[in-house]
Amino acid sequence: MKKTVFLGSIAVAGMAAGMGMADTLADVKARGELNCGVNTGLVGFAAPDANGNWAGFDIDLCKAVAAAVLGDPSKVKYVPTTGQTRFTALSSGEVDMLARNSTWTFSRDTDLKLDFAGVNYYDGQGFMVPKDLGVTSVKELGGATICIQTGTTTELNLADYFKANDMEYQPVNIDSNAEGEQQYMAGACDAYTTDISGLAATRAAFADPENHVILPEVVSKEPLGPAVRHGDNNWGDIVRWTLNALIAAEEYGVTSKNIEELVKSSENPEVQRLLGVSGELGAMIGLDNEWAKRAIQAAGNYGEIFAANIGEQTPIGLTRGLNAQWTQGGLLYAQPFR
């Protein structure tokens, strides 16, 4: 098993090295479309409707990058990827970026030759159980069967947590959230573990969400963010600063509704630079000066995107928590636009 994982890492690293001289910006412009790697289906984050139209928190980041680069948020090809296929899809060039619940870790950043462009959701691993099981704490799950997605950081977290607490468990391996939902609902496992945001999104899709409980323990740190390949720093800058533009826009009160008025009237120098009224920030990353304005107009600022897809007024019902602005007690903090 260890040998297989090692060789897999080498293969991915080799593909990444081969892509080292790639000019992703030029490729995307020539193609006229952004290839964005997303989840196979996680309501609120990335999922197609009955007509095949994708929507969600991660989807809106894809749209923002497409708007910044191509001037049109609809110029995106959404490429579904599993926990097993996502990094190979990125390293091989099948996708230009990953906008999928992927945790920024040391080994992924270095050994897999990825560059994480920032954190768009601070998450943690949790556990969901049927309410009628009567379990109120993860520490009551000794000897339980647990559904776990392979190829994810949650596998190691699960093993570490149970070992640290001298507990046994039986893993039920799954390849995707859809399979996890199916197995959990079929009773193949006592509990389902993944990121808490994923559990909330999965539960929201149940016919009886009130009969399933997310246990209170958070057993890991899971900083989720968009990723690009090593070796194409300009493309990494574009994705990073597009995410920063969405976060900064919320901090400065720039919304999809008032943005045109602020272009005309804002006297805040940072807002003026963000919206391309002054300075030449766009030219520094190979884009025009209204790139960030278009990114914000695509689906709104970070707060608008959060509220529309996964916020407290949606069926998923997530609070901002750590994902609030730094001025509101959270961890969101965009680097300065100057």
In tens, the pLDDT along 56-92 reads: 999 999 999 999 999 999 999 999 998 889 999 999 9
Question: Strand, helix or coil at 246?
Answer: helix
Q: What is the pLDDT of residue 9?
A: 41
Contacts of 102 (CB under 8 A, 6+ apart): 86, 108, 224, 225, 227
pLDDT confidence bin for 21, thresholds 50/70/90: low
47 pLDDT above the threshold of 60: yes
Average pLDDT, rounded, for the chain:
92
19 pLDDT above the threshold of 80: no
pLDDT confidence bin for 10, thresholds 50/70/90: very low
Q: What is the pLDDT of residue 83?
A: 85
pTM for the predicted model, two decimal places:
0.89
Q: Which of 19-23, 210-214, 286-290 shows the lowest per-residue confidence on average (mean pLDDT)? A: 19-23
The closest of 151, 174, 171 to 161, measured between CA atoms, is: 171
CB 214 within 8 A of CB 127: yes
**pLDDT tens for residues 174-225?**
988 889 999 999 999 999 999 999 999 999 989 999 999 999 999 999 999 9
Strand 125-130 versus strand 191-195 pairing type: antiparallel
CB 309 within 8 A of CB 45: yes
Mean pLDDT within 122-144: 96
Percent of the chain scored above 90 by pLDDT? 87
Task: Determine how many CB atoms are found less than 10 A away from the CB of residue 24.
Answer: 23
Q: Which long-range contacts (CB under 8 A, 24 or more apart) does 79-83 make?
A: 79/35, 79/36, 79/37, 79/38, 80/38, 80/39, 80/40, 80/41, 81/37, 81/38, 81/39, 81/40, 82/40, 82/151, 82/175, 82/176, 83/149, 83/150, 83/151, 83/152, 83/175, 83/176
